[in-house]
Structure 1
């Protein structure tokens, strides 16, 4: 996604993080790091880890009162990400404040089973705003979320980034107060918030894009008019083709996104291999004619793909300085996939320096109109 208008504010984005046994200690450290803020800071983003989930509202109240920033959105992640740090499995808070005028954004919440309320409430603003960026948080317990994402993107002609919270229900999200149960977040006007977004799959394709020619729901019977398992083993090569018991957690199916570039595909686990019938099962239904590929997921593939995504973003922003960054990573990535702590934000820092950064580890990641898994979604503001 590209938004190339000039910024209307020279004030810097500011990010901070805090940790400690109490939320008051962590929030106090954030207030100290942020320092004095002028009236140009109108929007804040808060992420907390599960130990502070029940205190999310209190944290927002304290930060609003201490900083003077009036509008806040946020959620609960398995871990939080801030400039120079990732914190998982420990109580922590990560925050960013954005110097964006109130005319340039609209906070929304309450998207539980339909999106009409958002488009009605903000009809005038949307009528004057072309293709907003929608930074959204979603409830993992709401099965309608994938459809709500598609509907809101279509109805606003926007582009959505964000992720699924690791907590559910009212109070698991913030959008000018506690909310939850569906989608909430903020819509940003592109003429005031120029940006670029990119998706890292954490995988590397191991063969060509194929075509499903026979299937039953999530069971692949034939690919390219040949038994699905035969095509799979050919892409695997030796020694994995003769050691299929080692495939789990290493090799995945990729479902290319129609109309997107060749790096954009939905990663889905392989859940079964039927040697007798030459079939494979994955976690999503497919139909004859659908494209499919197979991909490797490990620490090397994750680094390779992350660097490729960052290089593409760097090319697209054309040397303009990055004022702030927002990053959502799958909970199955981070140290679990990269094999060392804080590797993802280190790679971002290598590409874009010490730009203020905030983010969280999610239960699923949103890019444009789709819910992904195993990905990292980076948004750069410049």
Structure 2
């Protein structure tokens, strides 16, 4: 018995050149060629006409000043396609990364128009808009936006799945977002997806615990006073293997290279198996007070009484191993659910990349090794978004999926 034809994957491309016109033309040549091939194959399999309706565009900050020209050119060459994206200090694709150079990455997705909505400050995302009910959302945000930490949970509440993925614009110059227009005044934008668009996402922190998980006993703002009923600084020194009578300077240096992983008190980790992975907030330790025995964390909102906290370290080997773990979890989730990957978005911290790993395309290479040559785009961000939270020094890998036996694009 013959198997039904499978779904059509997304198409993606990337290019680097100091002239945005040259880079865009090279990327478009590849993108349009692959889109034509996919359209022909889809028609041969199903007799249906394939329509690419959604585009993602990520630019390095070298091209930020040309964002309007780039978007206008995309809209001219691909009329009817809705575009979303932003700027990073680097962009990436499957097996390739362009960091600190003039480059762009593009993706086209053949999604039913009823299955997604592009949103921005001009077109806010609503929980219900006619027959469209947002389930998940790809979010781009300006880190200068006031009350961003509060806006993300509010936005997540407008989706039935409660899951956001994306990141903050990262630019040494102009910060812009793309949402069918170019915006540089802050705020949030992106694309919301209906439940019919399958998404599997994982967060990779790349951290190695150096002590047990402890319960926050006393906290004031970002000052952790006690853990497990003991002075927080005593716990940190014990987990680091430092003698209690060590001098101030070496203790401060050891803490400067240590991070705190926090699970909020209300986060019980209960989630649907194979859906969105459990994650923790990792924050820097920014100070200590030996007299009070406290440790200061770089986020007053992250630590609350009753939360669990574990001291940890981050290094390149651990980070790549954890990214590999995340990609394997996504691959296993696809197999278990009988679904296939259509395309991916990967948002990595601007503090990662080649400078952290010591080799080009380390992260995109790991993803390709596990998931194959999957069409993928992404950018190096000023902060990463997953679920309803803002992260730092992490990677957020999100794969769009469809049932393996379904023909054409998701319907």
In the other structure, the counterpart of 2:193 is: 188
Please point out which of 34, 57, 61 is paired with 1:50.
61
In the other structure, the counterpart of 2:11 is: 14
In the other structure, the counterpart of 1:118 is: 125
Q: Residues 183, 264 of structure 1: CA spacing in aligned structure 2 closer, same or farther, 3 A cutoff? A: same
Larger radius of gyration: 2
Please report how far the alpha carbon of residue 267 of structure 1 lies from its aligned counterpart in structure 2 after TM superposition.
Answer: 0.7
TM normalised by structure 1 equals: 0.89
Q: Say if 2:99 is the partner of 1:93.
A: no
In the other structure, the counterpart of 2:330 is: 313
SS at match of 2:150: helix
In the other structure, the counterpart of 1:270 is: 285
Q: Give 1:1-382 correspondences, 5 Å limit.
A: 10-36=7-33, 37=35, 40-68=51-79, 70-110=81-121, 117-119=124-126, 123-126=129-132, 129=133, 132-158=135-161, 159-167=163-171, 172-180=176-184, 181-191=186-196, 193-237=197-241, 243-247=250-254, 250-257=257-264, 258-260=267-269, 264-285=279-300, 286-318=303-335, 320-382=339-401
Q: Work out the CA distance in 1 between the residues paired with 2:262 and 2:64.
A: 34
Moved more, 335-344 or 164-173: 164-173
Aligned CA RMSD, in angstroms, stands at 2.6
Gaps of at least 5 residues in structure 2 are 40-49, 271-276, 402-411
Q: Work out the CA distance in 2 between the residues paired with 1:327 and 1:62.
A: 25
Q: Work out the CA distance in 2 between the residues paired with 1:282 and 1:139.
A: 23
1:105–1:189 contact (8 Å) kept in structure 2:
yes
Moved more, 337-346 or 231-240: 231-240
Superposed CA deviations along residues 240-290 of structure 1, whole A, max 9, x for unmatched, are: 995424425531011114122795110110001223332211112233322
Q: Work out the CA distance in 2 between the residues paired with 1:209 and 1:22.
A: 51
Superposed CA deviations along residues 34-72 of structure 1, whole A, max 9, x for unmatched, are: 124455101100000111001112111212222345210
Q: Residues 295, 188 of structure 1: CA spacing in aligned structure 2 closer, same or farther, 3 A cutoff? A: same
Q: Work out the CA distance in 2 between the residues paired with 1:60 and 1:365.
A: 24
TM normalised by structure 2 equals: 0.83
Q: Work out the CA distance in 2 between the residues paired with 1:61 and 1:239.
A: 62
Moved more, 48-57 or 304-313: 304-313
